[in-house]
Structures are given as C-alpha cells and as structure tokens.
Amino acid sequence: MTGPDGVFAGARPGTIIIDMSTISPVVARKLAAEAEARGFKMLDAPVSGGEVGAINATLSIMVGGPQDVYERCLPIFQVLGKNINRIGDSGAGQVCKACNQVVVALTIEAVAEALVLAQKAGVDPAKVRQALMGGFAHSRILELHGQRMLDRNFNPGFRVRFHLKDMNIILSTGKEYGASLPVSAMVMEMLKSLVATGHGNEDHSALLRVIENLSGTEVKAAVTA
C-alpha cells in the first residue's frame, strides 16, 4: 500500500481507496491517516460470508471511514453484498471483522466440544445437533459447520491457516486496546496445532480434530441430520 510501487504512489489526489482485506485495525487507522495526508480518502471494508457469499454476491460488508465517502461507494458495495453497514470511522470495519472472527472461531470450537461430548457419552451426535437446532443453541455454525463435522467434510470454505492469521490480528488488537481475550487465545493455539499437524488448508470446522484428539474419540453419526 505505501511502498514505492504501492497504491499510494500511483494514486492521484481525490482518489478513494477501498481496502476489503482483513488486516489489523491499528494498521487500518494508520493507513487512513496517511491517505488523508496525501490527499486521498480511504475506507476499510472487510467482508464475511465465505466463498459462497462471494460467488452469490451476498457478502456482509463492514465499513469504516467517513460517512460521505461511504455513501459515494455504497453502489459498489451493493453489487458485492447484501448486509452492508458503516460501523464508524476509519478502522471500525476492521474492528467489526475481528469481532466477527472471534464469534465464528469460538462457536465452531463450542460445536466441536458438544458433538464430541455426545459421542463420548454414547449418544448419537447427529441427533443431538438436530435437537439443538430447534433451541436457543441454534446458529448458522451449528447448522452448517456442525453438518460438516458429522460428514467429516473438511474441504475448505475458509481455511484453518487464514483463521489463524485472523486470530493473530485479534489477539494483537486486544493487546493494543487492553481487551482480555482468554478464550480467543485458547482457540488460536488449537488452530496453531492444526497447522503444525498438516491441516492448515482444511476448513476451520476441522477444529473438531483437536477436540477429538484430546478426547480420544472420533465423531461418528449414526443417522443423517
């Protein structure tokens, strides 16, 4: 972005720069300040929704930056996604994405624990998932990733190594702003172990493998949910 052949070097005053990657909120704010000093405007606009959301143009887009710039760029975002929100000033979009990744990672881990507990207790994990789907524990992660776990389908939608990258961002952001994130730190270590054992390119629902290894079991559904 800021190197001799980077975006800033080639941009003209008045240019609007939209960063849709997932990076540190701290870095996003520094880049926005530098862009402003050079006569540019910048939005941070990370996304959620995975490969399916990108293909179907149904991404959730979390935007940080000036209101007037956001409004000018809204037609672009509307082509790419459905749930589009300006969260606040520069960096706010990246903060929101970090929060998203916390909830996703911790919920995947919780679903993995629940299915392993059912398996170890001699109860069909598919039936447990099916029952939980009708109660307060229902979530898209229980619905989609829970089924992935039952099917042992770890073909990547969102890869373990990418979520590990995001967890590093989350923990460094928490340190920067004094937020304690103890369970996020635990899940990050689980993701590290998956990468270290050759599962980094699998879907992040492969967190199940970690809980299985710790419990000495493998989740096997007796029925299809």
Residue pair 115/133 in contact (Cβ under 8 Å)? The answer is: no
**Separation between Cα atoms, residue 80 and residue 12, nearest integer Å:** 25
- Catalytic residue of the set 30, 82, 97, 220: 97
Active site residue 192: no
Task: Give buried/exposed letters for 120-141 (b at 16+ CB in 10 A, else e).
Answer: eeeebbbebbbebeeeeeebeb
Helix (H) or strand (E) holding 191: helix 182-196
CA 149 from centre of chain:
18
- Active-site residues, by number, are 97
